[in-house]
Chain A
Amino acid sequence: MNSSNRRSGQLHVVTAIIVLAGLAAIIFAFVSNASPYGTFADARRSGGNSIHVAGELLKETLDIDARHGILRFAMKDEKGEQMTVEYTGAPPSSLSEATRVVAIGGVKNGVFHSDKLLLKCPSRYEAKAKTVKR
């Protein structure tokens, strides 16, 4: 093997190492900083404020304070735990149709405070669900 070929081979190895290191860094950056999905118990434990909790919206508990932009409802997570969710923002459309909700936020004083809701409506239709942000 001449020196040119050897140099070329070494260059390929270095390039491969750099590419793999770059990929690993990107995967680590995304996975370690992505917002987790969990239950109310997970949200209580982590103390974070960007936990995604998916669950059933209990419609009979819906309480809208439109003047102050606050929406309260009880939600049952996947483990069956029920907690009051307090959403700050304008009341989303399709709320009356929504059956499944993903609330994004964190637990404080026994209430799940959220500033973003993802509503899933029963599909007569099959289209965009609503994302609501404060």
Chain B
Amino acid sequence: MNFPGIAGWPDAPGWAIFVGQLGRALVIGSVGAYLLAVFAWLIQARRPSLEKWGKIAFWAGSLALWGTIVCLGALFVGEQFEFNYVRNGIQAGLEIKYRIAAIWAHQEGSFLLWACTSALFGVLAAPKTGICRRWFTIGYSTFLASIGGILAYETPFKLDPLIHGRILLPPNGAGLTPALQNYWVVIHPPTIFMGFGSLTVLFCWALAALLTPGARDWVKGVRPWALVSLAVLGLGLCMGGFWAYETLGWGGFWAWDPVENVSFVPWMFVATLVHGIIVQTARGSWVRANLLLGGLPFLAFVYGTFLTRSGMYADVSVHSFAQMNSVALKILIGFLGLAMLGFLGIWAWRSSSLARGGPIPPKAKGPNREAFYRLGTVVLAGIGVATAIGMSVPLIMALGGQKAKVVEERLYHQVLGWFVVPMLILMAVAPFVSWRGLPWRELGARILNAFSFAVLVAGASLFVARSPSWGVGLAGDERVNFAFGTTIPTVVWIGILLFLCAFTALANLQRLAEHWRKSKMGVGGFVSHLGVATVLAGLALSRGFERKETVVLQEDAPAQALGYLISYRSRTADDMTDRDNKVIFDVAGPSGGFEARPGLYYTGVEEGQPSPMVWPHIERGLSHDMYFTLHPPQFDLWEQPIQLKPGQTINQDGITATFEHLTMKGQPGQMGTQFGALMKFKTQRGAFETQPTLEITPKGLHPHLARIDQDLIVSLQAVDPATRSATVQVHFAKPLYPVDLFYKPMTILVWLGAGILTFGGLLTAAYRRPARAKAADAAKEAA
């Protein structure tokens, strides 16, 4: 490796080398411990005394993994740049919260975080698995040993011997990418990885139930874990959407990017499982389906991880994925193949015996809850499967030897719309249906109130939203594409979605109120459905009725967008590398205004490659958000300097420039000597003569800008004494600020719905803890 100034670097501190070696040893130790756990539990049937060692080994492996992440954290906090992973992850002086977050900002760390959260759920869930514990631990340990194996090959503790085997401490690192330096990087990945970790519990429990005779009741034990998984993964998905909304500047929450889908697909399968468990618990049916659904979320996540880490998505995602080390990728593929074929094979082998001998539930008459759940699970699983297919299109094309294709946002909406509409209808109607069934007429009477109010709410919302005074006014000719080339007006489609969301929300609110008297804790399901309807209504309204206008303004030249007058005021920092710098704009509207403070700063200035970073400003309101995206300011009319010979005239970017000849004040080579370029310009404002200069200073050549007219200035970049030519560049006298202004109605519903959804999920999980569930069953029997 070649680093400037390497001779002055000190030796890396001994403690850091020790911590790095300890981290490496702990990874290898965790693999050993988990393999020991597998071995001990495998032969535990013949030697029961080994069960204790199996438990100890599982704990030891988990402690080793947690120790590993602590070691890595210590190296980040201590800014130990002699480690490749640390050097590529942070720069000196980074805030401590980002130094910690940098642990999972790259591939190796995200695998470590996945392993740690999985281990946490593993040690918590294992004692609750009862007769399934043996196979649960074997499956779990195999998975964690595989991840440990990946981390052993793709280690975050790699050192570079820089000079003759000596380990030196570089003074700085490449840095955490500025786009990631946001509070969401601190809280979103740990949250969503807690969700991913929880999927391992569901998978291993289902696997263990398949392999353990008499484990038909596994769903009672796994139910609270599935609910926690649903709630935490859902919260993580929402956080990811909020992160995109607050930082990416395109005004949306969700774009169906492969990395988003990798989280979304397992979440849909967990939602399917949770509904399947309800049927099995109440009716004793769906045994085989639930065992399959227990494994699918985890398999889908591992499959998605493979897709995004395989390098196949290099060009089709807004995320950059580092390609995995080939051995590590082979371990991941091996584990995926083993888990997929093994699980599905065992499920197919065991399903025929599981189908026999179960209790036969009494037949229901008319529309009944089981039938609605059946339809609901088909729809939920359909959303998951369809999304998985959409994200697999590049793989499908590659397998067919075809050129790559990519599925865009609108196509996901077109296909998934066919599932979302029935899903919302089922979510609205199913809570009114009983297990025993009821006549259609009675069902109609039960849902009539919610249905009627939903029509009213949707109609009133559309009326209000279409009112010009609210500023929405969707163009009447905008249409949404459906299958077979059909289209419908966007406003009709948004109206349908709004009605369905209102219907679902009102129906579940009604059931919640009716159920509240019986069991306050037992209303979690209704609360969750209310949350889903609220989020979807927020997404439909804020995207469907979104309005956007792009304008360019300057310091003394305000611009008008969406009826608002936008004027530049100032910026908060003189130093444009200050990442807290805000550019302040006054935004004045007919019914009040606000101060927009989008972020703008530059990185790479020291390296001579300034790169702008911008953050949007969001003016939040109860009825709508004003989303203000500042694009990088433009300073140059001519993007590149142009070399001109004496007497040469050019037309470039709407102006005519003629270079007359070079001038000089002073002696060549002496300090203070100025070279000038006498130039004539014809601009929209008239004809002008001017002379930019270049002065010899102790720090090198210093350009003095010359004004062309009130809008433009010119700089002399270089002179060539041999040809008497000059290299000049024309700039704006004041920078141009391109701005996108979005009007986004009812985005508050997205935030509100996410909170309601998570609360509902956690409430249900708490209510469905086995001890509580047992007490509730006993109370029911007594009644």
The answer, yes or no, to whether B16 is at the interface (CB within 8 Å) is no
State whether the Cβ of B574 lies closer than 8 Å to any Cβ in chain A: no
Q: Say which one of A79-87, A91-99, A106-114 lies at the interface with B.
A: A91-99
Give chain A nearest CB distance to B357 CB in angstroms.
15
Contact between chains at B393 and A30 (CB < 8 Å): yes
Cα–Cα distance between A124 and B175 once the two chains are bound (Å): 8
Q: A35-B405, A125-B176 are in contact. Are A133 and B250 (CB under 8 A)?
A: yes
Complex formed: what's the CA distance from A40 to B304 in Å? 31
- Give A1 to B385 CA distance when docked, in angstroms: 35
Q: Are B740 and A34 in contact (CB under 8 A)?
A: no
Q: How far is the CA of A96 from the CA of B415 in the complex (A)?
A: 37
Contacts of B415 in A (CB 8 A): 26, 29-30
The contact size tier of chain B is 35 or more
Query: Count of A residues near B, CB < 8 Å?
Result: 47
Q: Mark A22-37, 1 if CB is under 8 A from B, else 0.
A: 1100110111011111
B573 is an interface residue with CB less than 8 A from chain A:
no
Contact yes or no, B408 A128, CB < 8 A: no
Q: Are B405 and A91 in contact, with the CB atoms below 8 A?
A: no
Q: Does B342 contact A (CB under 8 A)?
A: no
Q: Which of A116-134 contact B (CB under 8 A)?
A: 118, 120, 123-131, 133
Bound Cα distance from A48 to B292, whole angstroms:
42
- Among B176, B255, B393, which residue has its beta carbon within 8 angstroms of that of A34? B393
Q: A69 at the A/B interface (Cβ < 8 Å)?
A: yes
Question: B610: nearest residue on chain A (CB-CB)?
Answer: A96
Mark interface residues in B386-424 (1 if CB within 8 Å of A CB, else 0).
100110010011000001111110010011000000000
Whose C-beta in chain A lies nearest to the C-beta of B247? A128
Contact at A126–B403, with CB atoms within 8 Å? no
Interface hits, B102-143 → A, CB 8 Å: 105-107
Contact assessment for A93 and B393 in the assembled complex, using a CB-CB cutoff below 8 Å: no
Given known contacts A29-B483, A64-B634, A126-B88, is B411 in contact with A34 (CB within 8 Å)?
yes
Kindly list chain B residues whose C-beta atoms are within 8 Å of the C-beta of A52: 315-316, 404, 406
Query: Nearest CB to that of A65 among chain B residues?
Result: B653
- List of A residues within 8 angstroms of B390 by Cβ: 30
For A96, give the chain B residue with the smallest CB separation.
B611
Please indicate the chain B residues that have their CB under 8 angstroms from the CB of A34 in the complex. 393, 405-408, 411
How distant is A2 from chain B, measured CB to nearest CB, in Å?
A: 14
A30: chain B residues within 8 A (beta carbon): 386, 389-390, 393, 407, 411, 415
**Contact mask for chain A residues 51-83; partner B; CB cutoff 8 A; 1 contact, 0 none:** 010100000101111110100000000000000
Contact of B250 among A50, A62, A93, A131 (CB under 8 A): A131
Instruction: Tell me the bound Cα distance from A22 to B379 in angstroms.
Output: 11
Residue contact B393 to A128, C-beta cutoff 8 Å: no
A48 to B: closest C-beta gap in Å: 12
Distance of A66 Cα from B175 Cα, bound (Å): 31
Cβ of A38 within 8 Å of any chain B Cβ, yes or no, is yes
Closest to B411 in A: A33
Q: Are B639 and A63 in contact (CB under 8 A)?
A: yes
Report whether A118 and B315 are in contact in the complex, using a CB–CB cutoff of 8 Å. Answer: yes
Determine if B320 and A127 form an interchain contact, defined as CB atoms under 8 angstroms apart. yes
Shortest distance between the CB of A67 and any CB in chain B (Å): 6
Task: Report B438 CB to chain A, min CB distance, Å.
Answer: 24
- What is the CA–CA distance of A124 and B640 in the complex, to the nearest angstrom? 25
Q: Known contacts A31-B405, A66-B738, A93-B614; is A127 also within 8 Å of B640 by CB?
A: no
B248 proximity list for chain A (CB < 8 A): 128, 131
Task: Please determine whether B738 and A26 come into contact, CB atoms closer than 8 angstroms.
Answer: no
Q: Is B609 an interface residue (CB 8 A)?
A: yes
Known: A30-B390, A67-B736, A124-B175. A36 touches B319 (CB 8 A): no
B404 touches A129 (CB 8 A): no
The answer to whether B552 touches A97, judged by C-beta atoms less than 8 angstroms apart, is no
B552 touches A69 (CB 8 A): yes
State the Cβ distance, A8 to closest chain B Cβ, in Å.
10
Given A62-B639, A69-B552; A94-B315 close (CB under 8 Å): no
Given A31-B393, A52-B316, A90-B631, 15 extra CB contacts under 8 A: A26-B415, A27-B389, A30-B389, A30-B390, A35-B408, A37-B315, A66-B736, A69-B552, A94-B611, A120-B314, A123-B320, A126-B107, A128-B179, A129-B317, A129-B319
Q: Which 4 A-B pairs have the closest CB atoms?
A: A125-B177, A90-B631, A66-B634, A34-B405
CB pairs A–B below 8 angstroms (21 shown): A23-B385, A26-B386, A26-B389, A29-B483, A30-B393, A30-B411, A30-B415, A33-B414, A36-B404, A52-B316, A63-B639, A66-B634, A67-B552, A89-B550, A91-B631, A93-B613, A94-B611, A97-B604, A118-B315, A125-B177, A128-B177
Name A residues whose Cβ lies closer than 8 Å to a Cβ of B: 22-23, 26-27, 29-31, 33-38, 42, 50, 52, 54, 60, 62-67, 69, 89-97, 102, 118, 120, 123-131, 133
